[in-house]
Structure formats: C-alpha cells, structure tokens
Chain A
Amino acid sequence: MDKNFIIETLKKQLAEYNPSAEKVNIGKVLKIGDGIASISGLSQVMASEMLEFVTSKGSVYGVALNLEENQVGAMVLGDFKEIKEGDLVKSTGKVLSFPVGKELLGRVVDPLGNPLDDAGPLSLKELEFYPIERKAPGVIARDSVNTPLHTGIKAIDSTVPIGRGQRELIIGDRQIGKTALVIDIILNQLQDARYKKPICIYVEIGKKGSKVARIVEELKSRGAMENTIVVLASASDAAPLWHIAPYSGCAIGEYFMDKGEDALIIYDDLSKHAWAYRQVSLLLRRPPGREAYPGDIFYLHSRLLERAAKLSKANGGGSLTALPIIETQLSDISAYIPTNVISITDGQIYLDPELFYQGVRPALSVGLSVSRVGSSAQTKAMKKVASRLRLELAQYRELQAFVQFASELDEATRKRIDRGQRLAEILKQPQYNPIPFEKQVCLIYAGVNGFLDQLPVAKIKEFEEKFFQYLSDRRENMLSKIRQSGEFSEEIEKELKSAIEFQIHALNEGNKRDCFSSRAIRDCAADLIPTF
C-alpha cells in the first residue's frame, strides 16, 4: 500500500477526531470448552447472531445458538482456547456471512472465507458478503428442472439423469468410490460444450488434509480447478466449522445462481456434517433423540438442500445443483441420516459393495438408484436409447440368478442374459475418464440394438476404446450433430449403424490378422532358424 495514502488517512482521522462513543450489548463468558461457550448477559442478542469474544490475543468470533433465561449458549468459530472465563463478549448485530465473488474461482478456502492455499489473500473489495443461512427461493421464483447436467458417467447419464437445479444423493459405504465419482463429474464439466459451463463448488467436511491436497492437485493438473472452488473443513478443524461448511459453500453457489449462472455444489459428506451438528447440540445440552441426533437434524439438511434450485427466466434463469454424499455403515441405507437425506433429495445414486467387488466400477446399482426428476433432464437422443437400456437391464437383473445354468436355459432367456452382460459391461468406466454424452449415446445405441451380441464380453472394452477413437477421428460431423441438436434423427441413426458395423468388422478382422501374422512370423522364424 502507498505510504502517502496511509499518512493521508491518518491525517484525515486526526482532523475529524471526535470523542464519540459506541454502544454495544455485552456479556461475560461463564463457561468455555469444546468449542461451546456459556455467556451471561447479552440480553439483546438474537438467535444466530455473530458474537465477538474479546480475548487477550485479539477477537474470536462465535454464533449465538441457545437463548436461555439467564445465559446464552454459543459455538465458537476459531480457537476457543484463547477465550478465558470472564472474558467480554460483544454482540455485533450481524449474522454470519461469507465473502463471495468470481475471485474465489480456483481457490481453497475455509468455511469462514479465509484462503487455505498459497495464492495470497482475497481482496475484499471485489467480494460481496452473503449470509451463510438464507431462505431458499420460493415457488414462484423457481422453474422446473429441464436442462441436463451431464456427468460424463455412462451409468448416471443414461439411467439416473441429473438436471440443473436437482438434488441427487450419492450414497454408499466407505472406500467405494463416492469421491472418485464426483471428481469425474467435476472433470466432465470442462468438456460439456452444449450447455453453459457450471461452476463447481466442492465442500469437504472432515476430510484428511492429504486426501484434499491430492484431489486439488488432480483437478489442477486436468485444468478443472479454474472453475472450481473448494471449501474445506478439515479433520483437524473444530465441529462448529464442520457444521457451517456446507452453508458457506451454498452461499457461494447462490451468488453464482443469482448472477444467472449454473453452479454445481457437492457436499462431501453430510453424514460427517450430521455428526458435527450432533456434537455441537449435545454440548449445548439440547435433548438427544434417535441415534443421539438432536430433534432438528432433519431440518438441518432439508433447509440446506432446499436452497438448490432452478430459477425462472424472470429471476435470471440461474441454477444450483446439489450432490450431497452420505456414507453408510455396512450398506445400511435404512439408518437415520441416510433415510432423512434420501427423502429430502430428488433421487439417489446407490453404490453397491457387491458390485464393487465384482469389478463393476463405478459400482452403481441401477436397480436401487433413481432420479425423481427423470427423463425431463435428458436430451432427446439420450432418452431414445436409454429407455430401452433401463428395461433390458431390469430384465437381466431378474434372470441374473440363472446365469450359472446358462446352458440349460431356453434360447430367448439365454439371449436376454447375453445382452444384459454386454450392457453391464458397457456401463463400466475407469476413473478420470468422463465421456461426453454424444459418445455415450452412440455406445448405448450399439448395446441395446444387439450389435455387440456378436462380440465376446471380454472384447467389449476393446471395442469401446477403438469405437470412440474412430468416432472422434472419422465421424466428428455426426458427433457434433448430436451434440448441437441433442436429437437423434433417422439420418444420424443410419450413419451410426454403419459406423458400428464398420468397427465390429474391423475388430474381428484385426483379430484374424493378428492370428495370421503371428503364425506367419513363427513360420518365417522356423524357416530362418536352420540358416543360423
């Protein structure tokens, strides 16, 4: 900062000095511990008001949560060990707010808006302050969910489509690929050219620092960090910070939604958030309910997720899509928090450990996953091929028990099982490999129309790779037609059919040639060996 500016400011202050006084409502700390303070006084304080604890080492902030007859219960956001009994507490008359703006893009911040990365401080001039708790948009302000948010995951885009403004739960055991799935979804937003690029907000609650560093590094190296904001309450942060992290992230999302942009927010994960809130509530001596969660645990999540919305044209047409994650214990989806969040969201993506160990990755269970928004959030092209896919997979699931006796089954059943196996195979997808929807459409078309039945299951993977390569090398015109129009006309169908046939033929021929050439080499070698 300019030296002269400082001197000028000081001079101005001195010239204008008037011995005015400031009137504030104060209290004294009665008890402090575990991030919770009991305060006497503060008769004028309001619920959720920000409090300033005046300590010997500067101010620490907190939020008033319990207003009782003789005291106020507050959670401390920051280092509560600085606060001593008898310290002064000032009410501020403000609610907790979060600095939001374009400047946050590419940054890692804590739930109070302080940067955690090494890119320097945020300049507050460019930022607006949004309250972290805000009422969700009303009925009139909303529009129905009608635009797809392509995830790049074949199994999701085809069977449980996600629309902009939707709330889709991702649920599964630990170590099953929930985080991997959402990272792929963030990566796919880079390559989805048909719609406006959404801004991704990744809220991490109680994650290990090392894991977060790896994720951020991965996003950076793939160029996705530029339109991503990470809000981190790490494992070593106090429970009150875990508690406010999703609301802070939501404030950022709302900012972009209000600006008419599309935003995608991922809460990873809300079960840890529920634990943090349980801790805060129990320490505040609120009565425990089922599984020791407080009575308002449902409202905690419903008011958060209700803030995801698709705004009407009159309100700018922005959207906020929420993907909450819930970690289950031993795949028990009927526990308290999972059932709560399932009932709040517009559908769930269930990751099944059994599928995971069978090698189906992503381990998405098509039977138990649903999207209540349904096909209104799909392009026409995808709708056309995906409806058949879902039906075929459902029939396959019913017959799956008989797979072992395949040779004893009648022709029709065996065909159905064969088809199902191939369809299940094409839904597999490696990590960091999101696929644009137009390619997905082509592949699923090949699957549901029986073109792949002539290939052995083990060859499907190879076909997929070569087919995608061929499509982007030779049939870019057709792909861009699907991408631009979102339709699947007869003309395209005809061209696609020939492309698939060509690729299958090439694959079969290639295999034969491999046989030939290896035999030729052997023969050739046999001829040559005696000459040495």
Chain B
Amino acid sequence: MKITPLQYAIFLYEITLKTTDIKKKVKGFLEFLARNNDLGKINKIIKEFEIYERKQKGIKEVEVISIKPLAASVKRQIAESIKNGGEIKETVNPDLVGGLTVIIGDTMIDGSLRRKLRELNKALSYG
C-alpha cells in the first residue's frame, strides 16, 4: 500500500515525540523512506509535519502585515495578545496604506486603511 506524506509525517511526529536522540530517530526514518523508495516525498512530508505539529500542539501560524517594519514594543504587544501564537512572521506591504493586518491560522483580522478605502469606493460607486 502506498503511504501518503501525511501518514509519514504522523509517523515521524510520533517517533520523535518522547525521544532524546533525535538524530538517531531521523536517520532511522530516512532509511525507512529509502527502503520504501519514498525519499522524493521528503519535502511534502516536512510540510505536512509542520502543519501536523502545529495542529497537535495547538499552535497557530501568525503573520503581521504592515506598511513599515514594526517597533519591538508593538510586536511584543501583538505576541502577548494572541493565545498559543507561534513565531510571528512579519511582512512589509506598503499597499495597505495604513493600519495593520494580522493573520492567525486561517483567520484574518484586517485593520488596514486599504479596506476602509475600498468600502468607501463601493459606497460611492453604487450610491
């Protein structure tokens, strides 16, 4: 039977969960992959592993989009206000015009001026 990348990822997650010797486990896992002729799937497995790990540990991906790099104090404030937040990924996008957009997992909190302007545009064009 073919083993899907997700199944591999779950397997890898389980065997590395309560171990001290990660190197040995990973080496064993790679040998297992090689035996199954599935080394080509390694990139997909890593991706699935990341998603699976986040899901298991209840950590959410956090991305902050702003028009200029954030000040350390602002960043700290954001990190504190999000429960179970992982590492914050910062993106600079001047298209936002102003304000902030925060993406947590698959929820986006759009506090940008661009959204406001778009709403205004819509309200004006339909009277």
Contact = CB atoms under 8 A, between A and B. Distances in A.
B108 A23 contact: yes
A20 B113 CA distance: 10
Interface string B108-124: 11110001100010011
B107 A25 contact: yes
B106 A22 contact: no
Interface residues of chain A: helix, strand, loop or mixed (majority): mixed
Contacts of A193: none
Contact of B120 (A10, A24, A88, A90): A10
A101 to B, nearest CB: 15
Interface magnitude class on chain A: 20 to 34
A13 B120 CA distance: 8
Nearest to A6: B124
Contacts of A124: 126
Sorting the interface of chain B by its residue count into under 10, 10 to 19, 20 to 34 or 35 or more gives: 10 to 19
Interface string B38-71: 0000000000000000000000000000000000
Q: Name B's interface SS.
A: mixed
Contact of A27 (B99, B106, B123, B124): B106
B106 A42 contact: yes
A524 interface: no
B106 A26 contact: yes
B94 interface: no
Contacts of B107: 23-26
Interface in A98-138: 123-125
Nearest to A17: B116
Nearest to A45: B106
Contact of A19 (B99, B103, B105, B126): B99
Given A10-B120, A22-B115, A90 B108 contact: yes
B81 to A, nearest CB: 12
Contacts of A374: none
A312 interface: no
A401 interface: no
Contacts of A429: none
Interface in A18-54: 19-27, 41-44
Nearest to B6: A70
Given A17-B116, A19-B99, A26 B108 contact: yes
Given A17-B116, A19-B99, A24 B110 contact: yes
A20 B115 CA distance: 10
Contact of B110 (A1, A22, A41, A125): A22
A9 interface: yes
Interface of B: 99, 103, 105-111, 115-116, 120, 123-124, 126-127
Across the A-B interface, give the 8 residue pairs with the lowest CB-CB distance, nearest first: A21-B111, A41-B106, A26-B108, A22-B110, A21-B109, A24-B108, A23-B109, A43-B106
Given A10-B120, A20-B111, A43-B106, 5 more contacts: A1-B124, A9-B123, A9-B124, A26-B106, A123-B127
10 contacts: A9-B120, A10-B120, A13-B116, A22-B109, A23-B109, A26-B103, A42-B106, A43-B106, A124-B126, A125-B127
